[in-house]
């Protein structure tokens, strides 16, 4: 009985490996310019019902470059996180923002993040960056 179970398992494993090698045994060519390594998708979640309506009244996404949004977001995120970590943040800064400047988040996410900071400043009558807007 044990021998037949072992033989059955061995046969199934052999079929499994044989099927795998047949699928990958063909000739495969890979071009360096077509490989997509980064398949991650990033999402910005803003839990403020008025933001989307307010955003629709702002400049279009293409008004500034992605580099502009990224540079501003680096500054805004740094100021936000400093306020978040301070003892007297008045409850305005309720989360830490993990924004890595070495990651390409794309134009859409950077646009929305930038305008969220603008929205936040306007609605709460604060200025995150010294020296104005």
**CA pair distance 133, 127, nearest whole angstrom:** 7
- C-alpha dist (Å) from residue 30 to 21, 25, 38, 40, 123: 19, 15, 16, 21, 52
Return the pLDDT at 131.
Answer: 56
Return the pLDDT at 10.
Answer: 43
Per-block mean pLDDT, blocks of 10 residues, the chain (133 long): 42 42 41 47 88 96 96 96 86 90 94 96 92 51
Return the pLDDT at 38.
Answer: 55
Q: What is the CA radius of gyration of the chain?
A: 26
Q: DSSP letters along 36-70, please? A: -------------TTHHHHHTTS--GGGS-HHHHH
Two tokens, residue 43? 């999402």
Q: Is 29 left (phi over 0), alpha (psi -120 to 50) or beta?
A: beta
Two tokens, residue 127? 């200025």
Two tokens, residue 32? 């360096």
Return the pLDDT at 91.
Answer: 85
Query: If you count them, how many residues does the chain have?
Result: 133
């Amino acid at each position: 009985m044990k021998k037949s179970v072992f033989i059955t398992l061995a046969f199934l494993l052999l079929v499994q490996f044989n099927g795998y090698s047949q699928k990958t045994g063909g000739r495969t060519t890979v071009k360096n310019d077509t490989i997509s390594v980064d398949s991650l998708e990033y999402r910005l979640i803003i839990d403020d019902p008025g933001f989307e309506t307010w955003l629709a009244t702002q400049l279009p996404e293409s008004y500034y470059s992605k580099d502009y949004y990224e540079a501003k977001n680096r500054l805004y995120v740094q100021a936000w996180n400093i306020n978040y970590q301070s003892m007297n943040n008045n409850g305005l800064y309720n989360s830490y923002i993990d924004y890595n400047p070495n990651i390409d988040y794309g134009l859409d996410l950077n646009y929305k993040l930038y305008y969220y900071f603008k929205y936040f400043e306007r609605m709460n009558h604060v200025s995150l960056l010294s020296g104005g807007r």
